[in-house]
Amino acid sequence: MTPARLKGHQPFILMALRSGSQTQHSLRKKYERLLHYMGLPVSFAGEDRGWRFHRELDENLGALVRKGFVRRDGDSYSLTSEGQDLAESAYRRARESEDSFTSLVHSPSVASRLSVISYALLAVLKLAAGFTFRSAALVADGLDSLIDVLSASIVLLGVRFGRELMSAAFVVALMGLFAALIIYEGILRLVSPVVVATPPAAYIAVLISAGVSYVLSVYQRRVGKRGGSLALISQSVDSRSHVLQAGAVLVGLVFATVGVFAVDAVVSLLIGVLILRSSVELAVEISHVARTDVGVASSDAEYERGFDRHRWNFFTTWTLMTLKEVSNRRDLVLRYDQTFTPDDLPYATYRSPAAGFDYRKHVDGILEELFEEGLITSVGAELYLTDAGKSTLDARLRRRRLGFFF
């Protein structure tokens, strides 16, 4: 019963049979689900034998029967005692391999570190290209990426030394300073235009920036949704905004190619205004947090009994976020299961932040609280975010960016 005795899809077939006897049709459906998990939207409807798994299924099942690992009973297949041992061994190996892969690729902590490294490299690229080619827009975009790096580092230090509010206030002040410098430079360039160089290297730098930011945005959102990290989801929004900014910078370069340098200055002004706006919004949120005693438990303990208030607030925010994509209670619970509950196959395991939290038990309490606060409304059985709910969600995600959990 060594791994060398199994070939091709045989380990998958054995693991699929761990849950009981299966027909060829049910085995195909399990394999279809595996491919969906891997991001391949395929269907095994009917008897389409165009897929390799279809073509080799009879052969693999026959080989497993001959080796004594699987028995056939009519159209159904099940494991023998020897096959059960081999299937459990294959499952353990796959689980260990998936856990290692998950911790490397799908872990929110790893994704956060990769995000900071990516922001730092992008900041260096943009600033170097911006100063080299005298593009105010590229410099402004680079400073925006630098803000992301510094804010993540400063907030981490603040959390470590128990100075979250102080570190967050420093980040806001830093954002305001950078925004002022960018706006000032943009105005100067509108008054006294500066020649912007537009060699191919400038375009390449912008395209690399856009491509990396897009990939990072998709990666952050996917890991954030699967791992339940609202901070990563918030960062994915920032990364997507860098893609749009790169597009604007590219427009400035195109105009600079024909001698119109004012567009580059206008783009830098817009980036500066956006950073300033973000700093003001975050300042308002910090002021709100400073005035609120977040350490005192809510007087309404009906829904908070038996579990931590931090976790309750986490899932109220998660529910608001999920209601942007689903619109009823059943789909909410289904999305929770998909996000936080490990699958029965070893290929879909995630370290759940929801360990010990019974969302099915508390979902009605969460929804009732959101209704009372005016954050959601309903039409029949359909649930929708109100304008207040959308604003609250945006505010909570901004707080997550600075390390707050409410």
SS3 of residue 90 by DSSP: helix
Return the minimum-mean-pLDDT range out of 93-97, 125-129, 248-252, 311-315: 93-97
HSE-up of residue 88 (Cα within 13 Å, Cβ side): 5
For residue 173, what are the β-bridge partners? none
Q: For the segment 34-86, what is each residue's pLDDT rounded down to a tens digit? A: 664 444 444 454 455 445 677 788 888 989 999 999 999 988 999 999 989 88
The Cα 117–Cα 350 span in angstroms is 23
The domain of 243 spans: 107-291
Q: Are residues 169 and 269 in the same domain?
A: yes
The Cα 226–Cα 238 span in angstroms is 19
The Cα 231–Cα 174 span in angstroms is 20
Instruction: Single out the residue in 105, 129, 160 at which a domain terminates.
Output: 105
Q: What is the full DSSP assignment across 380-400?
A: TTEEEE-HHHHHHHHHHHHHH
The pLDDT confidence band at residue 208, using thresholds 50, 70 and 90, is very high
- 5 or 77, greater pLDDT: 77
CATH code: domain of residue 351: 1.10.10.10
Residue 301 domain flag: no
Q: Are residues 100 and 113 in the same domain?
A: no
Mean residue pLDDT across the chain: 78
Q: Are residues 143 and 7 in the same domain?
A: no
Question: φ and ψ at 74, to 5 degrees?
Answer: 70, -120
The pLDDT confidence band at residue 283, using thresholds 50, 70 and 90, is confident
Q: Are residues 127 and 218 in the same domain?
A: yes
Task: Count other Cβ atoms within 10 Å, centred on residue 293.
Answer: 7
Q: What is the pLDDT of residue 247?
A: 94
**pTM across the whole model:** 0.56
Q: Are residues 184 and 81 in the same domain?
A: no
Residue 25 domain flag: yes
Instruction: Single out the residue in 260, 291, 322 at which a domain terminates.
Output: 291
Q: For the segment 231-280, what is each residue's pLDDT rounded down to a tens digit? A: 666 677 788 889 999 999 999 999 999 999 999 999 999 999 999 988 88
Residue 297 domain flag: no
- How many domains does the chain contain in total? 3
Residue 219 domain flag: yes
Strands (DSSP E) along 115-224, which ranges?
none
Q: Are residues 269 and 375 in the same domain?
A: no
Q: For the segment 148-162, what is each residue's pLDDT rounded down to a tens digit? A: 888 777 766 665 565
Q: Are 104 and 96 in contact (CB under 8 A)?
A: no
Q: Are residues 247 and 178 in the same domain?
A: yes
Q: Are residues 114 and 249 in the same domain?
A: yes
The Cα 280–Cα 166 span in angstroms is 16
Q: What is the pLDDT of residue 238?
A: 80
Q: Are residues 62 and 117 in the same domain?
A: no
SS3 of residue 326 by DSSP: coil
